[in-house]
Amino acid sequence: MRLLCSFLVVLTLLFPSSLAAYAEEKQSLSSSDEGLLEIRDFNQSPPFADGSTSTTFTISSSNGTIFSDVPTDHWAKSEIEFLYQRSIIQGYTVNNGLQFRPNARVTRAQAAKMLMKALGEKEQPISRARFKDIPSDHWAAGWIERAVEKGIFQGYEDGTFRPDDPLKRSQMSKVIAIAFQLPAPPSTASKVAFTDVSSNYWAYPYISKLYYHGISNGNQNKFMPESYISRDQFSAFLARAMNEDFRLPVNSSVIATGKVTAQSLNVRSAGNANASIVGKLNYGAVVNVYEINGYWAKISYGKINGYVHKSYLKLKNVNGNPLQGRIITVDAGHGGTDSGAIGNGAYEKNIVLSVAKKLQQKLEKAGAKVIMTRANDTYKTLEERVQIAKNNYAELFVSIHVNSASASANGSETYYDTSTNPNGYESYLLAKEIQQQLVKNANMLDRGVKDNNFYVIRYNTVPSVLVELGFITNKSDVQKLTSDEYQNIFAESIYNGIVQYYNK
């Protein structure tokens, strides 16, 4: 019993928590961890960290760590141990060792104490309780009083402080920005590139300060303001606010985001294939893009700046229409001496050129740069069509055709290629979105999306599809194919499919 009491006393003196709160946390820790969104503000530990983070503390444990649950490769290890060496955090004693519990949530009371200690403040003596749920003998009463006195925290209208409530990331941004008196970004500074934080969101001014001062760059271009902050996240933000050695690089204006579409993508020191490799990105990583020159995009991911081949990025404009600035090749099949399919008095080359021009207008209105493989009744070889796309650094390729078969065959189908095209899966996703729109808007029979190695989609390296609008040999289909109204619907459907692809 004496040993148990000593153990509980130690817990009380370590990272601030009442015994009741600790008991409750111990019972619910595993379940709460499962529901906690993992946000590391580096898109996880940077896969190519250069180890340049400056630290001024020493580690005496045999495995090079202070906390048994913060391994050497933990993304915030340096920041956590920086705070530990300054007695801002202490952790939990478990089985004669220290645990930090990095994924546990941070309460308002805990945040108040950590902030005050980080600022070098002392506990405020309490003679009379300010909040009805904070008695004068509460373990954090003096720290909360000091934080309220300095205008960093406030209570609620009902007279409570709610010390055990977990802190959200949005609330965290406010208290850190106020505590460290972070200046507002200049009017010329980059707009915060978080897709889930609009400029009219209540915490936007605070979040933008954290971003501009290198304290947070979110995860996958999201800040997740309504998610609860974990102990490792809060520690990282606090350490960065205290010591500029920990701060993240703040880059120039973000013009787009890019999702990696390759399984592994080299990041190079310059925009050419001969430049040294400074790291690799895995499929699905989302990077900030600052400039694009030909096929090379200048990007940042976590702590690293570099260049990647843009063919393996799904680029998306940061503000406004997602197609703004995208380079899209529209290929009207056949042309000139190649009439394509003929049926019911109609020629494929004429139908697809009309639809292609209507699509061009819609894409350009959205801000895209459209490359037409042909804009009139001329003939281009298949090789020329692919080369036109490559010469113009296209990011998407859409080839438009109509089908022919027996009179009974009808409907729309969209093709992609996985045999050679390195963006085969992205091509499939694009094909699926376009096909859904054709079926829905033009009321076409759904013949599905199909994997086929047609030349123009096989030898492109960007997401590429070949759309068969309908059958020129079918009476019902050809009425739509030759109708100006339906040609506009076909063009609108392809446009909507492209937009949907970029929005996902």
Q: Any idea which residues carry the catalytic annotation?
A: 468
Instruction: Report how far residue 84's alpha carbon sits from residue 65's, in angstroms, rounded to the nearest whole number.
Output: 11
Instruction: Report how far residue 467's alpha carbon sits from residue 266's, in angstroms, rounded to the nearest whole number.
Output: 32
State the number of CA atoms in the 13 A half-sphere of 22 facing the CB.
17
Residue 343: count of CB within 10 angstroms of its CB? 20
Q: Residue 303 burial by CB count (10 A; 0-12/13-18/19+): exposed, middle or buried?
A: middle
Which helix (H) or strand (E) segment holds residue 488: the answer is helix 484-503
Pairing of strands 396-403, 464-471: parallel
Q: Residue 3 burial by CB count (10 A; 0-12/13-18/19+): exposed, middle or buried?
A: exposed
Is residue 216 within 8 Å of 224, Cβ to Cβ? no
Residue by residue, DSSP assigns 302-341 as: TTEEEEEEGGGEEEEESSS-TTTT-EEEEEE--BTTB---
| Listed residue (425, 338, 317) closest to 385, CA to CA | 338
In which residue are the tokens 């390729």 written?
397
Instruction: Report how far residue 74's alpha carbon sits from residue 66's, in angstroms, rounded to the nearest whole number.
Output: 12
Cα separations (Å) of 185 from 134, 239, 253, 291, 465? 36, 20, 13, 21, 43
Pairing of strands 369-372, 327-332: parallel
Cα separations (Å) of 117 from 88, 181, 312, 326, 406? 6, 16, 46, 49, 81
The runs of H, that is alpha helices, within 75-202 are: 77-85, 108-118, 141-149, 169-179
Residue 168: count of CB within 10 angstroms of its CB? 18
Torsions phi, psi for 170 (to 5 deg)? -65, -45
